Amino acid sequence: MNVEQLLSDKGREVVSVQPHRTLAEAIRTLSEKRIGAVVVMGADGALVGILSERDIIRALGEQGGAALESAVSRSMTSKVVTCRPQTSVDELMEIMTTGRFRHVPVIENGRVAGIVSIGDVVKHRVAAIEAESQAMRDYIAMA
């Protein structure tokens, strides 16, 4: 299975913020959407960063409450690791594990085409294991 199939199952909606928005605005977006990260996009729609809960905690730890009024661009991760729709789920798991992050934007034709979370990967793996288990039970029942 690859990332394209994950996106087909979960959808391609990408929640984004602009780099000049405040951290407080980004936090409200995360809360309203019940998500753990937002993609940061420039005015031209290009990927310029990603802002995760971890980035927000780091900013609050360093700057205190004043961080809430600072621009997202000050706290975001600007060196974003991405994947392509053709990336295998196994490769994606390796990328996430090695990089120790939970969200990976998907780039297709130079644009953000989706975002995959570790929760999406786990959901896929659980479904695959359950299908395997059912297939084994069916095989044993027929034998």
**What is the pTM for the complete model shown?**
0.85
Mode of pairing for the β-strands spanning 47-52 and 37-41:
antiparallel
Instruction: Tell me the residue range of the domain where 116 lies.
Output: 3-142
> Is the model more confident about 130 or about 68?
68
Alpha-carbon distance of 85 to 113, in angstroms, equals: 8
pLDDT over threshold 80, residue 29: yes
What distance separates the 2 farthest-apart alpha carbons in the chain? 67
pLDDT score of 126 = 82
Task: Say how many domains are in the chain.
Answer: 1
Q: Tens digits of per-residue pLDDT, 38-74?
A: 999 998 989 999 999 999 999 999 999 999 999 999 9
Alpha-carbon distance of 111 to 106, in angstroms, equals: 8
CATH number for position 98: 3.10.580.10
Q: Tens digits of per-residue pLDDT, 93-122?
A: 999 999 999 999 999 998 999 999 998 988
Q: Which of 87, 83, 76, 94 is nearest to 39 (CA)?
A: 76
